[in-house]
């Protein structure tokens, strides 16, 4: 089974209430966040699963602590690097099956095989976006930049684009940042992401 997540920001104090709490996480301390997220991960993921991490595993530095924490997370881990990911330590590299900056894969969505573009950074124009390819991204937490990017996607699904590109499929892009309500601090399948993000949008 494939799972997706991004922007865990381990060892980044400012995502907790002990720091600036800039993306609204419920955790009082880093220790509380680490334990909860590790527990959620390992209760859900088996060592036969593959987890695509779309960047920003942790704050740079802290090699020994970072290696110790990431090594406890189950599954085959593939890292699509983000701006906070320092992968220069060989010991850290060995925790991942693959490390890259961009990746294209296929997954299942119900009975359908779908193509995915995986990038830490949001891409406004990605490969085959009008032909059903789905973008999964991170980097934008749950603030104004994220809402702005979602509005752009909505505009590109409007009539002006339909007239320019006949018979195009709806454009789909999903932020897999762990702090978003439909991610809830744990890896999610593509089906979970599509279902739960659409449900929250419909009931917003």
Domain spans in the chain, listed from the N-terminal domain onward: 2-202
Q: Which residue has the higher pLDDT, 201 or 25?
A: 25
pLDDT tens column, 171-203: 999 999 999 999 999 999 999 999 998 755 543
pLDDT tens column, 105-119: 999 999 999 999 999
Q: Which residue has the higher pLDDT, 199 or 9?
A: 9
**Closest to 138 measured CA to CA, from 24, 53, 49, 38:** 53
> pTM of the entire structure?
0.94
Question: Given a cut of 70, is residue 204 above it in pLDDT?
Answer: no
What SS3 state is found at 174? strand
pLDDT tens column, 63-97: 999 999 999 999 999 999 999 999 999 999 999 99
Q: What local confidence, expressed as pLDDT, does residue 203 receive?
A: 39
- Domain 2-202 classification at class level: alpha beta
Neighbours of 144 (CB within 10 A): 9
What SS3 state is found at 17? coil
Q: What local confidence, expressed as pLDDT, does residue 161 receive?
A: 67
Q: What local confidence, expressed as pLDDT, does residue 162 receive?
A: 61
What SS3 state is found at 107? strand
Q: Which residue has the higher pLDDT, 197 or 14?
A: 14
Phi, psi dihedrals of residue 62, rounded to the nearest 5°: 55, 45
Residue 148 near residue 157, CB atoms below 8 Å: no
Q: What local confidence, expressed as pLDDT, does residue 201 receive?
A: 56
């Amino acid at each position: 089974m494939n799972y997706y997540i991004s922007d865990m920001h381990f060892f980044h104090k400012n995502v907790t209430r002990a720091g600036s709490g800039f993306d609204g996480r419920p955790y009082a301390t880093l220790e509380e966040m680490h334990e909860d997220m590790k527990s959620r991960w390992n209760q859900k993921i088996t060592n036969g699963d593959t987890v695509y991490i779309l960047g920003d595993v942790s704050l740079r530095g802290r090699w020994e602590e970072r290696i110790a924490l990431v090594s406890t997370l189950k599954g085959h881990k593939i890292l699509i690097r983000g701006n906070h990911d320092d992968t220069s330590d060989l010991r850290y590299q060995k925790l991942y099956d693959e490390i890259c900056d961009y990746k294209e894969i296929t997954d299942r969505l119900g009975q359908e095989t779908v193509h995915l573009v995986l990038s830490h950074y949001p891409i406004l124009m990605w490969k085959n976006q009008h032909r059903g390819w789905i973008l999964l991204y991170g980097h934008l937490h749950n603030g104004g930049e994220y809402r702005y990017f979602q509005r752009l996607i909505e505009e590109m699904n409007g009539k002006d684009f339909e007239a320019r590109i006949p018979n195009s499929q709806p454009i789909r892009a999903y932020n897999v940042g762990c702090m978003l309500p439909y991610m809830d601090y744990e890896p999610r399948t593509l089906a979970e992401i599509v279902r739960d993000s659409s449900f929250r949008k419909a009931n917003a």
